[in-house]
């Protein structure tokens, strides 16, 4: 194992995932500024240019690519990796996305993957299912590193306290619901779907109207939340109109509101009994991991390798999106499951995962640098 810190040029450097898996003591170089962009914008990644790689060659031991190649042409990515090879610096790639969530046409992403697979000295990915698909498609072995913690430590206990308060409120006798209220408190489960800004893979189908009906049949409420940055007249805006009409007969609420900050999002999530992923394609989900930290069960179409991220009965249930009738049974599996473990147990599991991931990254980096295990 290394007897000195490894210096890593990461793409991107400041992403929460990248910071969470950084081995203590190792050095992750900062994201270079992007000309003409705001200070916090890291794309298109300046690290992935021959000029940057050559100018800073004495400052890093290896390049670790996570996200962001979609902002480069295939030729530009190839030129950067060619320069890296000439400099004698190894490439490590974490395969987060076998199918890119921000793209409809997957051909450019798959071309990038082909190149990265050929050039990488070492590969990592987040699930055994994704590793098996990498082996099948590309004949490469990937080290599996489970997704790290997403929520701050303080939110673990805060989420449990919010659930206890909600349960106590529901158990108190109350007057009959006000029929004129926009969102009367439901007696049954509160189910939420965050469509965010309707990125390319957020395309809920007929199953969402069926979920609205199934939730109403359980005396619950379905809340569909959308960021207010969806522009009028766009396909996403038209999809919202169709969705609103499909939900109306079931009394579901479509709420358009400003994009929340991290604390605001956590507050929205802990107010749910179930959070629903509206994905049409993809591989893994950071949203699922955030919900796990907060102790919120997740319902998801059976997309990519999401089912391999968590196998605990309370945490995740999947269904076949092509069979809308299947969503009710999946919802019932979650509602019948035991509750999430308490905050202390969830935090302890995240600490165990972090320690294992740090060991795995250290071994991967050392192998990439030609020192074996």
Written as one string, the DSSP assignment of 281-346 is: S-S--HHHHHHHHHT--EEEE--TTGGGT---TTTEEEE-TT-TTHHHHHHHHHHHSPPPPPHHHH
Beta bridge partners of 143: 124
**With contact defined as beta carbons under 8 Å apart, do 65 and 42 qualify?**
no
Are 166 and 104 part of one and the same domain? no
For residues 141 and 159, membership in a common domain is answered with: no
Query: What CATH number is associated with residue 63?
Result: 3.40.50
Residue 149 Rama label (left phi>0; alpha psi -120 to 50; beta): beta
**16 phi and psi angles, rounded to 5 deg:** -55, -40
47 and 165 in one domain? no
Q: How many Cα atoms sit within 13 Å of 155 on the Cβ side?
A: 20
Rounded to whole angstroms, how far apart are CA atoms 137 and 95? 13
- 173 pLDDT exceeds 90? no
Distance CA 215, CA 209 (A): 10
Q: Flag whether 216 is in a domain.
A: yes
pLDDT of 284 strictly over 70: yes
Tens-digit pLDDT profile for residues 95-138: 999 999 999 999 999 999 999 999 999 999 999 999 999 999 99
Instruction: Answer yes or no: is 1 within a domain.
Output: no
Q: What does the mean pLDDT of the chain come to?
A: 94
pLDDT in tens, 21-80: 999 999 999 999 999 999 999 999 999 999 999 999 999 999 999 999 999 999 999 999
Q: Does the pLDDT at position 3 exceed 80?
A: no
d(CA 261, CA 366): 38
State what percent of residues in the chain have pLDDT above 90: 86
On whether residue 86 sits in a domain, the answer given is yes
Residue 180's pLDDT band, with cuts at 50, 70 and 90, is very low
Residues 178 and 131 in one domain: no
Q: Are residues 138 and 60 in the same domain?
A: yes
Residues 319 and 268 occupy one common structural domain? yes
Q: Mean pLDDT across the stretch 74-89?
A: 98
What's residue 238's pLDDT? 84
Residue 51 lies in a domain: yes
- Residue 363 scores a pLDDT above 80: yes
Same domain? 96 vs 225: no
pLDDT at 183 over 80: no
In a domain, 40, yes or no: yes
pTM above 0.85, yes or no: yes
Assigned domain for 346 exists: no
Region 236-241 average pLDDT: 84
How does strand 91-95 pair with strand 62-65?
parallel
pLDDT for the residue numbered 232? 79
- Give the pLDDT mean for 180-199: 82
Residues 277 and 173 in one domain: yes
Do residues 112 and 170 both lie within one domain? Answer: no
Please give the residue range of the domain that contains residue 88. Answer: 7-146+351-368
**Same domain membership, residue 326 and residue 186:** yes
Cis peptide, bond prior to residue 131, ω within 30 of zero? no
Cβ atoms 42, 18 nearer than 8 A = no
Asked if 359 and 334 touch (Cβ cutoff 8 Å), the reply is: no
Token couple for 117: 């697979």
Q: Which CATH number covers residue 309? A: 3.40.50.2000
Instruction: Output the pLDDT for position 171.
Output: 72
User: To the nearest whole percent, how much of the chain has pLDDT over 70?
Assistant: 96
Q: How confident is the model at residue 179 (pLDDT cuts 50, 70, 90)?
A: very low
Question: Cα–Cα distance between 348 and 353 in angstroms, integer?
Answer: 9
User: Are 166 and 182 found together in one domain?
Assistant: yes
The whole-angstrom separation of Cα 67 and Cα 57 is 21
Of the pLDDT bands very low, low, confident and very high (cuts 50, 70, 90), residue 181 is very low
Nearest-angstrom CA–CA distance, 277 and 285: 9
pLDDT (mean) for 344-354: 98
Same-domain status, 311 and 212: yes
**Residue 107 counted as domain residue:** yes
Structural domains counted in the chain: 2
Spatial contact of 247 and 170, defined as CB atoms under 8 Å apart: no
Residue indicated by tokens 């990439």: 368
- DSSP per residue over 48-108, as a string? GSHHHHHHTTTT-SEEEE-S-GGGS-HHHHHHHHHHHHHHT--EEEEE--SS-TT-S--HH
Establish if 345 belongs to a structural domain: no
Judged by DSSP in three states, 149 sits in: coil
Q: What is the side-by-side order of every strand in the sheet holding 316-319?
A: 253-257, 221-227, 190-196, 274-276, 298-301, 316-319
């Amino acid at each position: 194992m290394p007897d000195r810190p490894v210096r890593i040029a990461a793409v991107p450097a400041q992403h929460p995932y990248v910071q969470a898996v950084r081995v203590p003591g190792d050095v992750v170089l900062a994201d270079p500024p992007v000309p003409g962009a705001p200070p916090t914008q890291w794309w298109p990644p300046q690290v992935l240019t021959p000029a940057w790689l050559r100018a800073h060659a004495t400052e890093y031991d290896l390049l670790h690519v996570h996200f962001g190649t979609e902002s480069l042409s295939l030729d530009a990515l190839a030129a950067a990796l060619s320069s890296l090879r000439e400099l004698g610096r190894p490439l490590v790639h974490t395969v987060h996305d076998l199918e890119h969530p921000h793209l409809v046409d997957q051909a450019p992403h798959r071309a990038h993957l082909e190149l990265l697979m050929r050039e990488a000295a070492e590969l990592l990915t987040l699930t055994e299912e994704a590793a098996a698909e990498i082996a099948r498609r590309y004949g490469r072995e990937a080290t599996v590193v489970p997704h790290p913690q997403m929520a701050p430590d303080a939110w673990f206990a805060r989420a449990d306290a919010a659930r206890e308060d909600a349960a106590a409120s529901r158990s108190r006798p109350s007057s009959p619901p006000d029929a004129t209220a926009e969102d009367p408190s439901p007696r049954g489960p509160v189910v939420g779907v965050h469509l965010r800004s309707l990125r390319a893979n957020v395309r809920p189908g007929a199953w969402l109207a069926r979920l609205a009906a199934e939730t109403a049949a359980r005396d619950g409420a379905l809340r569909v939340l959308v960021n207010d940055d969806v522009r009028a007249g766009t396909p996403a805006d038209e999809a919202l109109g169709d969705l609103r009409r499909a939900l109306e007969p079931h009394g579901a609420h479509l709420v358009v509101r400003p994009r929340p900050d991290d604390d605001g999002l956590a507050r929205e999530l802990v107010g749910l009994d179930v959070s629903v992923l509206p994905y049409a394609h993809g591989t893994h989900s950071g949203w699922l991991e955030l919900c796990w930290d907060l102790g919120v069960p997740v319902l998801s179409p059976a997309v990519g390798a999401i089912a391999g991220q968590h196998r605990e009965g309370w945490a995740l249930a999947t269904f076949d999106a092509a069979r809308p009738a299947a969503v009710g049974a999946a919802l019932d599996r979650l509602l019948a499951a035991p509750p999430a473990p308490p905050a202390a147990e969830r935090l302890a599991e995240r600490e165990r995962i972090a320690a294992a991931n740090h060991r795995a990254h250290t071994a991967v980096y050392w192998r990439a640098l030609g020192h074996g295990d």
